[in-house]
Chain A
């Protein structure tokens, strides 16, 4: 069917492997995502903390530079699990805002323009569609979270030597797992909201609301009932607990509160966190709900019963 021939001809050339076709979606999505100069600028800013992290690791091992800058090595942060966890948190925050910017139109735009039948009438399943749409965020967020952080971990290991690498390999797995869990959570929630809400602004607001309103509610519950069990309703707090667990700093005892009643009797109340398995369970529940929403909404046509 060459342009000049103007006749209909069947395609007889080679085909791409089926397993790789979900990657077509992110490849085409990035063209429109990076058309926005504001987003591109924001995406570049996401790498600034990583640059700071790299500089800190470099300075930690470069005596000459420290000498020139007259900085005592003890004044610098120690390069350990908490150092990397801090940057996992910072990058997680950036990942959240990237999700708010990129996630909402991914599915809603297709639903609004009835594009789903066009995808699904091809050898391309609903699962591949959802995986393809999620991989738009997964690849983008990975580029600002675990991928550079693992590279920086390797940089630190290169500076310290193999023994340090061997002793701290758990940090790498914690970075990877904490980031991937956070990315999957963000991707699933944003896709589910995108499938439910057709308007971009409302979908963005819904994502922000879903993360921040329960956090406020959770803080209120924790204050009123002198507990940390309210964290179960906050996705941010749940993720914080899971991350603490992965970095080995999770402690169910969150502190003590001293209460003095009208008769001047003093009581000490131990504030406890929900157990780690329950935090994981809640995250799985949220993911399962998102998958159920996607399974219900991502269809070529709604069946009117």
Chain B
């Protein structure tokens, strides 16, 4: 029996409130010596794939390392799935996988041996670890090379081996630090495809730190932009795009002056951006249908009508300029 829509909405709302956030930042600060690296970060991150962006030295990697328990917070704390990063680090570590930015492997080991060891260290029994090591290496596309020593791997293969060790134990949250670093275009596409597959499987949340906006745009539904150790922007990419649906780009043919006058009468703001080109901001109560009717009345052809979508680059640049937190 289907539940009434309002009740369903209530249930979803309740569930959202009861479900712990993937990452809950509770005034988290990290200081190295006297140098503050992360400053009073606050907010709960609930996305399936969270992109971590920021210029060099913004604190992206430090945030990941602190969440993994490598560094102690100097003030505040954070929670991952409701577990405190200081007091319940072991519980957290059994739920997360980590793909470091730099080359990281154990020398003189074949990939399958390496991934198996990592699986066992995560608590898998030897048999299960070996089985899942084979599976993980096939999954990332290293199936044929899994008995080769890691030292003989190319950079792209090493990146994939790092991903395999991060997912061998099937973590609930995956930290990926610059996963496409140094990859050629086909290898990058493969990595992006894998990350999207993991995200779409719904089995794991992802935190992806990258300098490459395109990578984040392709993989993530939420972004957290850091600047000087502070949150500059935290937003849902799709919602951000939806909020820009009021911006329209038009290309017209006919008497544009009369059409512009009519738009003015509707109460919409506009800007002429070129010959036969207009940018319009729709006001409340005005719909696209009204524009079509207006165009028909003024006998103006609408050759093109598109919504302006803020690209991630726009959001990022805006954040770098203003630094207004989205939380």
Q: Any chain A CB within 8 A of the CB of B33? A: yes
Chain B nearest CB from A39 CB (Å) reads 14
Mark out the residues of chain B between 155 and 183 whose CB falls within 8 Å of any chain A CB in the assembled complex: 165, 167, 169-172, 175
Name, among A7, A28, A112, A121, the residue most crowded by chain B CB atoms within 10 Å (CB to CB): A121
Does A304 reach chain B (CB closer than 8 Å)? yes
When chains A and B are docked, how far (Å) is the Cα of A124 from the Cα of B131?
21
Asked if A121 and B71 sit within 8 Å, CB to CB, the answer is no
B-chain residues with CB within 8 Å of residue A125 when the two chains form the complex: 90
Q: How far is the CB of B35 from chain A (nearest CB, A)?
A: 7
* Shortest distance between the CB of B208 and any CB in chain A (Å): 15
Hey, what's the 0/1 contact readout for A1-36 against B, CB within 8 Å counting as 1? 111001111111111101001001000100110000
A to B CB contacts below 8 Å, 14 in the list:
A6-B138, A10-B172, A14-B125, A15-B123, A16-B120, A32-B108, A113-B107, A114-B104, A117-B100, A117-B104, A118-B98, A121-B68, A122-B94, A123-B122
Kindly list chain A residues whose C-beta atoms are within 8 Å of the C-beta of B100: 114, 117-118
Contact A110 B106 (CB under 8 A): yes
> Is there an interface contact between A301 and B65, defined as CB atoms closer than 8 Å?
yes
| CB closest chain-B residue, reference A22 | B121
The residue of chain A having its C-beta at the shortest distance from the C-beta of B151 within the complex is A113
B203 proximal to A (CB < 8 A) = yes
Instruction: Tell me the smallest distance from the CB of A234 to a CB of chain B, in Å.
Output: 34
Which of B71, B106, B125, B135 contacts A303 (CB under 8 A)?
B71
Q: Tell which of A1, A18, A21, A115 touches B132, judged by Cβ atoms closer than 8 Å.
A: A1
Residues of A near B132 (CB, < 8 A) are 1, 11
Contacts of A121 in B (CB 8 A): 68, 70, 93, 96-98, 175
B143 at interface (Cβ–Cβ under 8 A)? yes
CB distance from B161 to the nearest CB of A (A): 11
CA A142 to CA B45, docked complex, whole Å:
51
Tell me whether B286 is interfacial, beta carbon within 8 Å: no
* Residues of A that sit less than 8 Å from B by CB: 1-3, 6-16, 18, 21, 24, 28, 31-32, 109-110, 112-115, 117-125, 299-301, 303-305
Chain B interface size, as a band, is: 35 or more
**A304 — nearest CB in chain B belongs to which residue?**
B32
Which of A16, A117, A123 is close to B70, meaning CB atoms less than 8 Å apart?
A117
* Chain B residues near A117 (CB-CB < 8 A): 68, 70, 98, 100, 104
Q: Does the CB pair B197–A120 fall under 8 Å?
A: no
* A-side contacts of B136, CB under 8 Å: 1
Asked if A123 contacts B172 (CB within 8 A), the reply is: no
How many angstroms from the CA of A159 to the CA of B132 in the assembled complex?
Answer: 52
Task: Determine if B93 and A11 form an interchain contact, defined as CB atoms under 8 angstroms apart.
Answer: no
The 4 closest A-B pairs by CB, nearest first: A305-B33, A10-B170, A11-B170, A15-B123
User: Does B128 make an interface contact (CB < 8 A)?
Assistant: yes
Q: Is the CB–CB distance between A305 and B93 below 8 Å?
A: no
**What chain B residues lie within 8 Å of A7 (beta carbons)?**
139, 197, 201
Q: Is B117 an interface residue (CB 8 A)?
A: yes
Do B104 and A124 touch across chains, with their CB atoms under 8 A apart? no
Given contacts A7-B201, A11-B128, contact A1 B123 (CB under 8 A): no
Q: Which of A110, A120, A304 has the most CB of B within 10 A?
A: A120
Task: Given A8-B197, A10-B203, A109-B106, decide whether A118 and B143 contact each other with a Cβ distance below 8 A.
Answer: no
A113 in contact with B104 given A3-B135, A7-B197, A121-B96 (CB within 8 Å): yes
Tell me the bound Cα distance from A9 to B169 in angstroms.
9
New contact pairs (13) apart from A10-B203, A109-B107, A113-B106, CB-CB < 8 Å: A8-B197, A11-B124, A28-B113, A28-B117, A113-B103, A118-B98, A118-B105, A120-B70, A122-B93, A123-B90, A123-B122, A125-B90, A300-B65
Do A305 and B128 touch across chains, with their CB atoms under 8 A apart? no
User: Do B108 and A1 have beta carbons less than 8 Å apart?
Assistant: no
Bound: A161/B70 CA distance, A: 57
Interface residues in B196-227 by Cβ distance below 8 A to A read: 197-198, 201, 203-204
Closest to A305 in B: B33
B282 CB within 8 Å of chain A: no
Compute how far the CA of A109 lies from the CA of B136 in the bound complex, rounded to whole angstroms: 25
B118 contacts partner chain A, Cβ-Cβ < 8 Å: yes
Asked if A123 and B123 sit within 8 Å, CB to CB, the answer is yes
Minimum Cβ distance to chain B for residue A32 (Å): 6
- Shortest distance in angstroms between B23's beta carbon and chain A's nearest beta carbon? 15
